[in-house]
Structure 1
């Protein structure tokens, strides 16, 4: 049995560790071949503050509203945590009363909810400058507990504590609806939408998400590189999108080959046929000339991000896979070298939990792991942009 204990991390390391732990619970972030740091670097450049488990944009306001009310409560920390949890669960009920059905976090779980909206949106609130408190959610509760203790101090001590207490939310945060926990909706008001756009402009001026939000661009497309306004994107963003497209396209073949190999080991003819068809489609859609002129040196420079360290082994894997694809995409499906490259990569990453080596783990495999193309959180970005565009 394994366990994870906190060492003496600073606050940045603590939050980073929490984000990594959260990824293990997210189905969409399965990273069987160790490409997650590259994927997340691209996503954080283009769409900072988003995550694959965000649903609707107004949660970026719901959370500050709920916690701003709790900040006024002079109660013990345990009670404060309990009231915060109760408020977030009540919010799900209020959204149902308001007529919402899709995108409610905890809609079906109710009091059994494990992942609260505050934990889903906490990092994004900081990235967008809505949350100005620099710490984790846990450290906020500790800070609020300290404020509560000052309640019994002398007037001079109380004033000093209040002056020293750090701000938690941006001072321009819109007014909390009076009936928030009785009836709530996801539709933003125009003032709320403008506040969110202003926060993006101030905190993430170079991000593509900011440009799309500021210009009110709402497009319906599956991938950011098929966006109808691609030619109007800033040059830096367009360059990254183009790199993201070819990276997603090229490495999709490796993910499909991994799933095919597992299907063969499981002797599931239906899965085998499906992945062979998908690999054939990948082969036919791949543009060899684009792969040939793709500069990996420029790619690594462009995707570099302070929050994500791309390890040399990941770079080697991408480089070697690209070389195999260029050597003959017609044969890559059956190529022993391609299969060996994918298998060795997974075995090094998963060690004793490798599905190639561990029969018990492989038998629990349900037929798909990271088998879809990387989209770099475009689905979440387009949802947020649509919420901004439909504000009233």
Structure 2
């Protein structure tokens, strides 16, 4: 197999120029091609609890409970509530669009064809932030509402008694939850009022106090940049959070190399000179990025990194995933200033990993799946949902600053 980087020979001036274009290694395609998503998600949950990649704006943390509380008030029965809620969510989407909001409106493009509704997207986050008190899935909530209504009236049926055997009923929502506007979305639309923003920050301070998400909002530092570690407010964080961010950055940067090598190998398989040259350039940029932080990587405490990953109990990181990550890091770090001296080892390693993850769907082994490759698979650097979280942070800060 041809050498990836035997042609790379930078002068100091060229090296400096390359450092300036490292920023091109940005969010492109973050599909998890090599099976590291569980470790990524664990870190994301620790830094930014209650968030997901398909959330959009902070106001939905209020919109969803307002809609569901309205359903409860009107005693919409369990068998009808799912469709009623969906209709309300489509109505909310249309109302937001009518008053001029577009960015972050869930359903703005798909409308009634929406597959994931706000109630589903924000359900887990509402519990994490302490807004939802009901413990269970959205479907559990819907199915138990009839019994909840009977319990509130003191009129418990035999069916209710069966439900109560495995469910304990109390209030479904935080007692301090803000009052709903008469008609959603209200005059502020997707923007938060000062009191709404204060409420969300209060819930975060109570339920996610030590998270990076809460600390950034509490600092009132507007989120910018492509990655959280590029923001100047990082210097104002406590030592514990700075270390967590360092672990996140190291993992993001070192694992991007695996994705780039994978795509380089696909380009070779496809015999595309254009794509081969593209990934040679991207790998050159990655080599420079790694060399520029070589001392940090060589002193990286991987035991502490894995302790952080495993501290997020809701995510299971398989042992074979850890083994792949550890071995990749070892390959990279043993010659960090000239990583591609190990190119043959790297290439064989990525071949083996793709087969382990995908089996017969391996693009490197199955021409039918190679033919479906678009030219970029999972090349975007891990940002731990930052491209979503920064909007949520800025929504809350703008509200607080009113």
Please give the TM-score of this superposition, normalised by the length of structure 1. 0.86
Relative to structure 1, the CA distance from residue 145 to residue 158 in structure 2 (aligned partners, 3 Å threshold; closer, same or farther) is: closer
Relative to structure 1, the CA distance from residue 86 to residue 206 in structure 2 (aligned partners, 3 Å threshold; closer, same or farther) is: same
Matched, 1:340 2:338: no
Partner of 2:303: 297
Partner of 2:252: 248
Matched, 1:197 2:201: yes
Tell me if structure 2 keeps the 8 A contact 1:95–1:183: no
Relative to structure 1, the CA distance from residue 145 to residue 272 in structure 2 (aligned partners, 3 Å threshold; closer, same or farther) is: farther
Secondary structure class of the residue paired with 1:254: helix
Gaps of 5+ in 2: 1-27
Partner of 1:316: 323
Tell me if structure 1 keeps the 8 A contact 2:29–2:379: no
Give distance in 2, aligned partners of 1:225 and 1:182. 35
Give distance in 2, aligned partners of 1:121 and 1:378. 17
Give distance in 2, aligned partners of 1:186 and 1:292. 45
Relative to structure 1, the CA distance from residue 138 to residue 333 in structure 2 (aligned partners, 3 Å threshold; closer, same or farther) is: farther
Matched, 1:327 2:334: yes
CA deviation profile, 1:249-306 (whole Å, cap 9, x unmatched) = 1111111111111122222332222111111100012132222111211211122211
Give distance in 2, aligned partners of 1:132 and 1:98. 32
1:140 Cα offset (Å): 0.7
Partner of 1:68: 69
Give distance in 1, aligned partners of 2:123 and 2:29. 19
Give distance in 1, aligned partners of 2:58 and 2:196. 10
Tell me if structure 2 keeps the 8 A contact 1:197–1:213: yes
Give distance in 2, aligned partners of 1:282 and 1:227. 21
Partner of 1:123: 124
Tell me if structure 2 keeps the 8 A contact 1:252–1:371: yes
1:370 Cα offset (Å): 1.6
Alignment of 1:82-121 (within 5 A): 82-121=83-122
RMSD, aligned CA: 2.4
Relative to structure 1, the CA distance from residue 133 to residue 28 in structure 2 (aligned partners, 3 Å threshold; closer, same or farther) is: farther
Relative to structure 1, the CA distance from residue 183 to residue 197 in structure 2 (aligned partners, 3 Å threshold; closer, same or farther) is: closer
Partner of 1:369: 377
1:105 Cα offset (Å): 0.8
Tell me if structure 2 keeps the 8 A contact 1:246–1:291: yes
Please give the TM-score of this superposition, normalised by the length of structure 2. 0.84
Partner of 2:13: none
Matched, 1:265 2:269: yes
Tell me if structure 1 keeps the 8 A contact 2:30–2:382: no
Give distance in 2, aligned partners of 1:184 and 1:267. 54
> Which among 215, 219, 228 is matched to residue 219 of structure 2?
215
Give distance in 2, aligned partners of 1:344 and 1:369. 17
Larger deviation: 206-215 or 309-318? 309-318
Tell me if structure 2 keeps the 8 A contact 1:257–1:333: no
Give distance in 1, aligned partners of 2:33 and 2:177. 40
Matched, 1:388 2:401: no
